[in-house]
């Protein structure tokens, strides 16, 4: 396992669309382990593969005492709204309020390629939406309604 360097919002790569993962192999295992380690080291609550320079549709999330890996995640349904502050390891020194769904149902695959459907609420829904946006090159600052100091 290894720490990977964070890609910042000043780098064009962060705006690229990530590709669907079709190979559930050892390289994916290593990527996910490195992403987990890099997220923890940087005290993040989520990380998308593009943030470590890999344009693949993989995210890791760790919040509310739970850890998730989502491969090729797709939001099937969202309900309600919530507004709260967000930050991003790729966007230094900025935080601000974003409106997100309160609850999302997501279809994704595990690192072994098994399909799963999960429903996340509250902060976990916020983090999942934030990370899934990264897979399409979208940053929270694009959606921010108010900047916080």
Query: Residues in the site for Co ion, rule: CB under 5 A?
Result: 88
Nearer of residues 31 and 88 to Co ion, judged by Cβ = 88
Round the CA-based radius of gyration of the chain to a whole number and report it. 14
* Partners of 67 in the β-ladder: 62
* Sign of the torsion formed by the C-alpha atoms of 88, 94, 95 and 96: negative
How near is the Cβ of 86 to Co ion at its closest, in Å?
8
Among the listed residues 26, 69, 131, 146, the single catalytic one is 131
Nearest position to Co ion, beta carbon? 88
For residues 135 and 131, what is the distance between their CA atoms, to the nearest angstrom? 7
Active site residue 131: yes
For residues 19 and 121, what is the distance between their CA atoms, to the nearest angstrom? 26
Nearer of residues 88 and 125 to Co ion, judged by Cβ = 88
How near is the Cβ of 55 to Co ion at its closest, in Å?
15
How near is the Cβ of 99 to Co ion at its closest, in Å?
16
Active site residues: 131
């Amino acid at each position: 396992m290894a720490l990977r360097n964070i890609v910042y919002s000043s780098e064009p790569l962060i705006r690229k669309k990530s590709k669907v993962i079709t190979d559930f192999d050892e390289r994916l295992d290593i990527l996910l382990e490195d992403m987990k380690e890099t997220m923890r080291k940087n005290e993040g609550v989520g990380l998308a593969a593009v943030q470590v320079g890999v344009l693949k549709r993989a995210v890791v999330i760790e919040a509310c005492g739970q850890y998730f890996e989502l491969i090729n995640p797709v939001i099937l349904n969202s309900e309600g709204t919530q507004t709260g502050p967000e930050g991003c390891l790729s966007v230094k020194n900025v935080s601000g309020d974003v409106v997100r769904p309160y609850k999302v149902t997501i279809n994704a695959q595990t690192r072994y390629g098994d399909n799963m459907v999960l429903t996340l609420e509250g902060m976990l829904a916020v983090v999942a939406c934030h990370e899934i946006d990264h897979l399409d090159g979208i940053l929270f600052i694009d959606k921010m309604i108010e900047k916080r100091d």
